Amino acid sequence: METNTEKIAEKLNALVQKNRDAQEGFEKAGQIVTSKTLSEWFVARAIERRIFREELKEEIHSFGHPCVQTPSLTGDIHRTWMEIKAAFSVDSDKAMLKEAMRGEKAALEEYNDVFAETTMPPSTDVLLKAHRAKIEDGLAILRAMENIEFQEES
């Protein structure tokens, strides 16, 4: 019989993997874009997602459960798709913005699903709400950047 902490640990482990994929996706986007400012923004998001992963791992361990990390074929495929899209796009910066926006919307859905499916202890609730708020802020910034014409910077 699965306990509530086992169920929560399972959900948090899924978020660890999703944040790993996001981290690597942001790192890849930071390498692809031509704007230095945009590249730095993507790198900052990658660092944020690494921090999210570490915080989630600590929360999982606080329940006495292991953090399970498995490779993500979906994440690998998405990063390959980003490279292909950038290669065939006239504006790789805009293409990466759109991909990041799509990924952030998916991340919000994943966090919202955890809230909908699981009753959590206060520490987990606070942690996930903080993550979700930062993702929402990032998505708002991406939407604002969608109308900016980026210049290649050296």
DSSP letters for 2-61: --HHHHHHHHHHHHHHHHHHHHHHHHHHHHH-S-HHHHHHHHHHHHHHHHHHHHHHHHHH
What is the model's pLDDT at position 1?
Answer: 36
- Rounded-to-integer distance, Cα 112 and Cα 153, Å: 37
What is the model's pLDDT at position 3?
Answer: 52
- Binned average pLDDT, 10 residues per bin, the chain of 154 residues: 75 94 92 91 97 96 84 53 52 84 93 89 95 96 82 58
Q: What is the pTM of this model?
A: 0.83
pLDDT tens across 18-39, in order?
999 999 999 999 998 989 989 9
